[in-house]
Amino acid sequence: MKFTSLLDQQNIRLGVSFSSKKRLFESIAAFVVEQLHCEHGEQVCFECLFEREKLGNSGLGNGVAMPKGRLPADSLDKPLCVFMQLDGPIDYDAPDDKPVDIIFAVLVPANNCQQYIPALSEISEKLTDKNFIKQLRSAKSVEEAWQIFEIADTHTEEDKPTEAEENDTRQ
């Protein structure tokens, strides 16, 4: 799945600062509620991120995290993503013990979240590409970050094997 099919350009935030993971999640929740104009409020959104984090840390390594959560279906009918490039890294208790400064938050509708698992896995894999992350860290504007996502989407399409190539590897 393409970044640009999940992420809206208006959901890119650069140079933001937080003192902790909790403050980060609060900010994501406030932003999401503002975007969706939903009735459930920031606390519900915060709790969905926080509860998912209790199941397993969303740190991917190399200063990158992908927090996820499920929002009630009446609030969300498709995934909503938020990208944040932090001003400075925050302690995230990531598996590699490195602080985090790149965030790609994903919220999905609770009623059909299973259908997004393959896409989330693909996005997670892309977010571990060190060159890609280096480019996102150096982005100076929302437009530049968006272009980096567009290029990553293009390269993903080019890198995918054709059906004939897939059949050759199966034989």
Would you tell me how many other CB atoms lie within 10 Å of the CB of residue 13?
17
Give CA–CA dist 32/42, Å, rounded. Answer: 8
Q: Which CATH superfamily is domain 3-140 in?
A: Mannitol-specific EII; Chain A (3.40.930.10)
Q: What is the pLDDT of residue 170?
A: 42
Helix (H) or strand (E) holding 124: helix 117-126
Pairing of strands 12-16, 80-90: parallel
- Strands 100-109 and 64-65 turn out to be parallel
pLDDT of 165 strictly over 50: no
**pLDDT bucket at 141, cuts 50 / 70 / 90:** very high
Mean pLDDT of 39-51: 85
Q: What is the pLDDT of residue 148?
A: 96
Q: Which of 84, 87, 67, 85 is CA-nearest to residue 17?
A: 87
Per-residue pLDDT at 104 exceeds 60: yes
- Beta carbons within 8 Å of 79's beta carbon, 6+ residues apart: 6, 106, 107, 108, 109, 116, 119
Query: Computed from CA positions of residues 110, 113, 114, 117, in that sequence, does the dihedral angle turn out positive or negative?
Result: negative
Q: State pTM to two decimals.
A: 0.87
Least confident of 12-21, 102-111, 141-150, 159-168: 159-168
Confidence grade of residue 76 (pLDDT, cut at 50, 70, 90): confident
Domain boundaries, given as residue ranges, for the chain:
3-140
pLDDT band at 162 (very low <50, low <70, confident <90, very high): very low
Cβ count near 96 (within 10 Å): 11
Q: Highest-confidence range of 29-38, 59-68, 115-124, by mean pLDDT?
A: 59-68
Whether 54 has a pLDDT exceeding 80, the answer reads yes
Whether 112 has a pLDDT exceeding 90, the answer reads no
pLDDT at 115: 76
pLDDT for 40 equals 66
pLDDT interval class at 38 (50, 70, 90): low
pLDDT at residue number 79: 86
